[in-house]
Amino acid sequence: MFHKIISTGLGIGYIGKGAGTIAAIATCLCWYFSQTIYTNPYLWPVLVTLFLTLIGTISANVVENEWGKDHQRVVIDEVAGMCIALIGVPLKPVYIILGLLLFRFFDILKPLYIRKMEALPGGLGVMADDVLAGIYSSIVLQIFISFEFF
C-alpha cells in the first residue's frame, strides 16, 4: 500500500488521463509555497528531490510487479522530474510556469535520448526518462533566466 501511495503521487495517478500533468502542476504549487517558508532555498530542494527520486525508483519498481511497466498511475516520476527542473530557479511564477511547460514538452515528446531511458529495467526505467526531461528543462530554463528573457 505504501508504494502505491508514493508511486501515484499521493493518489493523483488514480485520476487517469492527464494525471502526469496534474502531478507536475501540483508539484509546482507545492514547490512555490514550500520555498516561501524555508530559509535555505538551496539545500532543501536538492535533498527533497534526491529523496523523491530514490523512493520513487523503489516504489515504481515494486508496483511494476502488479501494474506492469510504467503504468499510467505512476506519477512520482513526473514529481521528481518537475523538482529537478525547478532546482535553482528564482521563486517567480513566470519561471515556475515556464519550467512546467518545458518539463511537459520534454516529458511528452521525449527527444534527445529521453525515450531510450525508458528501456532501463524496473523503476529505474520509469524514473530515468523524467529525470533526464527534468535536466533538459533545467538547462533551458537556466538559459532563459541568465539572459533575463522574462
Is pLDDT of 39 > 70?
no
**Cβ contacts of residue 8 below 8 Å, gap of 6+?**
14, 73, 74, 75, 76
Model pLDDT, residue 37: 77
Q: Return d(Cα 123, Cα 84) in angstroms, integer.
A: 17
Stronger pLDDT, 31 or 39, i.e. the higher one: 31
Share of the chain above pLDDT 90, in %: 85
pLDDT digits (tens, 9 = 90+) for 62-97: 999 999 888 999 999 999 999 999 999 998 999 999
Indicate the pLDDT class of residue 150, thresholds 50, 70 and 90.
low
Residues written for the chain: 150
How much is the pLDDT for 41? 65
pLDDT of residue 44: 86
CA dist., res. 47 & res. 114, Å (int): 24
Grid cell, residue 29, equals: 504549487
* pLDDT tens-digit series, residues 18-38: 999 999 999 999 999 888 776
pLDDT single digits (tens) 104-131? 999 999 999 999 999 999 999 999 999 9
Full DSSP string of 62-120: HHHHHH-TT-TT--HHHHHHHHHHHTT--S-HHHHHHHHHHHHHHHHH-TTTHHHHTTS
pLDDT recorded at residue 35: 81
Q: Identify the helix (H) or strand (E) that includes residue 48.
A: helix 43-67
| Torsion angle of C-alpha atoms 148, 103, 87, 19, degrees rounded to 10 | 140
Residue 40 has pLDDT above 80, yes or no: no
